[in-house]
Amino acid sequence: MTPRDRWWRWQSRNAPYLFLLPFALVFGLFMAYPLGRSLILSFYKAIGPKRMEFVGSGNFRFLLHDWVFWWSVANTAAFTIAFLIVQIPLSLGLALLLNSRWVKARNWFRFAFFSTHLTGQVFVAIIFGVLLESRGGLVNHVLAALGIAPIGWLSDPNWIMVSVLIAALWLSVGFAMIYFLATLQGVDPEFYEAASVDGAGKLSKFWHVTLPSISKVLNLLIFMGIVAGLQLFELPYVLNQGPGPGGRGMTIVMYLFITGFDAGDLGYASAIGWMLVIMVAIVGVIQYRLLKRLGAM
Amino acid sequence: MQFPLGKAVLVMILLAAVGAVGVLMQGARPRADIEVWAFTSDQTNAWQALNSDFYAITGKKMRVKQVSTQAIDIRLVSMMMSGEQSKIVPDIVTIEVGSVGKYFRPPADDVGFVPIENFLKRDGLEELFVKTRLKLWSKGGHLFGLPLDVHPVMLTYRKDLYAQAGIDLAKIKSWADFQNAGLTYQKYWGPEKFAAELPAASADVLYMMLLQRGVNLVDENNHVCLNDPRVLDTLMFYTQMVAGQKKIGQSAGGNTIARVRALVDGDVAAMITPDWEVQQIKQWGPELANKLAVIALPRFDESDCPTSTWGGTMVAIPRGCQDVDSAWQALKFLTTSNTNYDTLPALKSAWNNPGFHQPDPFFSNERVGELEIKLAGELPNRIITPFTTIATGELSLVLHRAVRAVQNGESLPELEIHCRQWLQSTNDDVEKYIRFGGFE
């Protein structure tokens, strides 16, 4: 075997590993190691290497009785449910509208609705902070012109999560719309023709043709919405400058951030992070099983 | 010859290569002898102006950089946690009072700043600074930073509007008098115009009132005081100022601009003002010139302080600093030099600055600076522990519940029973957290 043959052989055997190496290094350094380290930290009371006390499952046991944590879970769950209830129908409606041949300048509208998703969450929070300002904000000015009393969007504890919801919807409806639109464009027109031949009306076609065709994307978007909802942080944190009045804007990740970086309790913050991972996993499994039982997977 | 992956990829690779070469050639900026991180632009500019004087005296070069509060916190916490002791650690940093709690979480010997009480004693500087402000930046008998400011709190009010309603607020002494005056004011101006700007969903002002009465929610021994009778009494009183039949206060939103504009529009006629907000009132409410007056805070009892404190900044030396003696020299120089002050400094000799004694045309020629100086001498003790933020947050929640109870028509005796229960349960919660998260 010549050296050239040996070189080729070595290359063909090792090339896949060499191609994977950069990813493995970056993933190992910035994902796997911090994940492993945070798991270890979650069993310690820690404020740096000099002060680490092993507490076993102490952080997790304290978490189970920490009402601020459960308050943040309830708050986050309420937001996620409200978000999905509004986002999915709204984005599907937009997608159906912009898939219709009767709408002029469809591409322009598609881009316009999607473009909001290209904006960063912090930037959106700052803009909505200005728009929803109780005294000088545009929204309250418009409401006043309509004879509606000003709303304390960012100062009234009952309204602050509604403000976050509005900003989150502005940011994400276009994104979900693009997914629906792509799927709708892939539905074979013959299905609709066949349904018409069978005498199906518009509603019947939507129920028996459109919905089954988009069910996989619908499931994906619901799961993505749940995960994004559970990870909600930047929007409320910047919009309300923390948990907001009466702590009503507290979310799970915000509590994690405050515990880790404001209170400096990294061990407990890691435990909160791992509890969130467990929650996402449980929700994912429940959703998967439920949809499988309903025949949507 | 064609690039196998296409022109676009080739252009991206070339751009990345040029960028990388540019970054590598730029190299790191040489470090100054003293690196200072300050979080406000005013402070940065004021200290940058002192660079040449410091060089002339010590022969050392100082560089003052503006770094945001959040960035200072995250970088410092990372450095302290990793035990970093290298040239990347700044020699001097400014820390805001809202951030300092987490630095005080370890036992005093392990706090990430150099204790400076011995330097202070050695150089005879103890008497130069306001005593209560030195206490604010101390833990376990060690002082970890020098105070930059005092931040006394006053009551600013629309003199013109109160006068039209026939009320002279300068004569009131107690919070109860203030509430009565407020009710008279609202009777005159109608239900849409409130006598004062007071938040109902955040305990900021309530906390200041408690400081006035000598109550720190968590004391220096990590003892929680939420079940102190004075907390219940103040909470009950404050709740009735922001909800129910005797309501005289309304929130104008969280930021200073909104508060000032509410004052301009006459939607609220008074607001609790720390010294740093005085400049902002002038900036955001120029229409208020000659319409405002400033007085000391009303009190609950004769023994209470006539002021409180809101905010604060310390200047400290991180433990990772490589030349502590030079850093102390610079710290001493920066905190004792006469610069242009926007707010009242903690350095008492600077109070002789003529700027603090001139009549202020904006406030109908009142000497606001002199009032601030007078109040600075009567400032209450404020103690910051790692658990103070938690206790204040929990107090906000109790206040929110109490306000809702009053809005739902709960009677005073019922409210008192509930508030006592809520405060006790909150007290237990914070104590539980201290037992769980504390290191002492």
| 3 state SS for B253-281 | CCCHHHHHHHHHHCCECEEEEEHHHHHHH
Question: For residue B159, is pLDDT > 80?
Answer: yes
pLDDT at A189 over 90: no
| Tokens 């190691």, residue located | A33
Give dist(CA B270, CA B285) in Å, integer. 14
Average pLDDT over residues B10-15: 93
Q: Which are the contacts of A236, defined by CB distance < 8 A and separation ≥ 6? A: A125, A160, A161, A164, A243, A244, A249, A251, A254
Per-residue pLDDT band for A39 (boundaries 50, 70, 90) equals very high
Q: Strand (E) positions, B85-160? A: 92-96, 138-139, 142-143, 146-147, 153-158
Across the range B121-144, mean pLDDT stands at 93
**ipTM higher than 0.85?**
no
Q: Look up residue A236 and give its two tokens.
A: 């409320």
Q: What is the band of B92 on the pLDDT scale with cuts at 50, 70, 90?
A: very high
Nearest to B261 among A135, A262, A263 (CB): A135
Kindly identify which residue of chain A lies nearest to residue B386, measuring between CA atoms: A263
Contacts of A64 (CB under 8 A, 6+ apart): none
pLDDT digits (tens, 9 = 90+) for B425-434: 999 999 999 9
What number of H helices and E strands is found in chain B? 17, 12
Q: Which chain A residues touch B102 with a CB distance below 8 Å?
A: 261-264
- Band (pLDDT 50/70/90 cuts) for residue B78 is confident
Interface A-B, measured as beta-carbon pairs within 8 A, has a size of 90
Residue-level pLDDT at A48: 66
A47:B105 CB<8 A: yes
Of the candidates A48, A157, A263, which has its C-beta nearest B201's C-beta? A157
Question: How many angstroms separate the CA of residue A21 from the nearest CA in chain B?
Answer: 19
Chain A residues closer than 8 Å to B429 by CB: 67
Say what the pLDDT of residue A297 is. 58
Q: B80 pLDDT band (50/70/90 cuts)?
A: confident
Q: Is the pLDDT of residue B183 over 90?
A: yes
**A260 has pLDDT over 90:** no
Does the beta-carbon distance from B106 to A157 stay under 8 Å? no
State whether residue B124 is helix, strand or coil. Answer: coil
> Which of A41, A47, A52, A71 would you mutate first to test chain B, the one with the most B CBs within 10 A?
A47
Confidence of residue B344 (pLDDT cuts 50, 70, 90): very high
A203-255 residue pLDDT tens: 898 888 999 899 889 989 999 999 999 999 999 999 988 888 878 899 999 99
What whole-number distance in Å separates Cα of residue A193 and Cα of residue A190? 5
Q: Closest Cα partner for A133 from A160, A152, A119, A161?
A: A152
Q: How do beta strands B292-295 and B142-143 pair? A: unpaired
> Which element (helix H / strand E) includes B30?
none
| Token pair recorded at residue A159 | 């309204």
> Given pLDDT bands bounded at 50, 70 and 90, which one contains residue A287?
confident
pLDDT bin (cut points 50, 70, 90) of residue B1 is low
Closest in A134, A243, A247 to B253, CB measured:
A134
Across the strands, what pairs with B288? none
Subunit contact A155:B73, Cβ cutoff 8 A:
no
pLDDT at B413 over 70: yes
Query: Which pLDDT band holds residue A296 (cuts at 50, 70, 90)?
Result: low
Contact assignment for B389 to A152 by CB distance below 8 Å = no
Q: Is A101 helix (H, G, I), strand (E, B) or coil?
A: coil
pLDDT over threshold 70, residue B56: yes
CA separation, residue B211 to residues B234, B275, B300 (Å): 11, 17, 12
Burial of B312 per CB tally in 10 Å (0-12, 13-18, 19+): buried
Of A135, A136, A247, which has the smallest distance from its Cβ to B393's Cβ? A247
Write the pLDDT tens digit of every residue in B293-330: 999 999 999 999 999 999 999 999 999 898 999 999 99
pLDDT above 90 as % of chain B: 78
> Closest to B77 (Cβ–Cβ): which among A135, A154, A261?
A261
- Residues B392 and B385: their CA atoms lie apart, in Å, by 11
Contact (CB<8Å) A152/B386: no
Spatial distance between the Cα atoms of B283 and B242, rounded to a whole number of angstroms = 28
Question: Across chain A, how many H-helices and E-strands are there?
Answer: 14, 2
pLDDT band at A200 (very low <50, low <70, confident <90, very high): confident
pLDDT more than 70, % of chain A: 98
Model confidence at B371: pLDDT above 80: yes
Task: Kindly report which listed range (A137-141, A232-236, A252-256, B85-89) carries the lowest average pLDDT score.
Answer: B85-89
Residue A58 binned pLDDT confidence (cut-offs 50, 70, 90) = very high
Q: Does residue B14 surpass a pLDDT of 90?
A: yes
Q: What is the mean pLDDT of residues B280-300?
A: 95
| Cross-chain CB nearest to B202 (options A45, A152, A245) | A245
Of the ranges B78-82, B87-91, B416-420, which one carries the lowest mean pLDDT score?
Answer: B78-82
pLDDT score recorded for residue B5: 80
Q: Name which residue leads in pLDDT, A148 or B254.
A: A148
Q: What's the confidence (pLDDT) of residue A244?
A: 86
Q: Mind telling me how many Å the CA of B82 is from chain A's nearest CA?
A: 7
Q: Please enumerate residues of B whose Cβ is less than 8 A from a Cβ of A.
A: 73-74, 77, 80-83, 99, 101-103, 105-106, 110, 199, 201-202, 251-254, 257-258, 261-262, 386, 389-390, 393, 396-397, 400, 429, 436-437, 439
| Pairwise CB contact (< 8 Å): B437 & A45 | yes
pLDDT confidence of residue B54:
95
Residue B347 has pLDDT above 90, yes or no: yes
Token pair of B30 as six digits: 């040489």
- Complete DSSP assignment for A192-251: HHHHHHTT--HHHHIIIIIHHHHHHHHHHHHHHHHHHHHT--HHHHHHTTSS-GGGTT--
- What's the whole-number mean pLDDT along residues A91-110? 90
Average pLDDT, chain B: 92
B386 contacts in chain A (CB < 8 Å): 263-264
* A264 neighbourhood in chain B, CB within 8 Å: 77, 102-103, 105, 386
Mean pLDDT of chain A: 90
pTM as predicted: 0.86
Q: What is the pLDDT of residue B254?
A: 67
pLDDT of A51 over the 80 cut: no
Query: C-alpha dihedral over A181, A183, A187, A189, to 10 degrees?
Result: 10
Whole-number pLDDT of residue B3? 80
The yes-or-no verdict on residue A202 having pLDDT over 90 is no
Q: Give the pLDDT mean for B238-245.
A: 96
Predicted confidence at residue A49, as pLDDT, reads 65
Under an 8 Å CB criterion, which residues of A touch B?
Answer: 45, 47-51, 58, 62, 67, 133-136, 152, 154-157, 241, 243, 245-247, 261-266, 268
pLDDT at position B100: 92
Among B80-84, B100-104, B222-226, which stretch is predicted with the lowest mean pLDDT? B80-84
* B93 pLDDT above the threshold of 70: yes
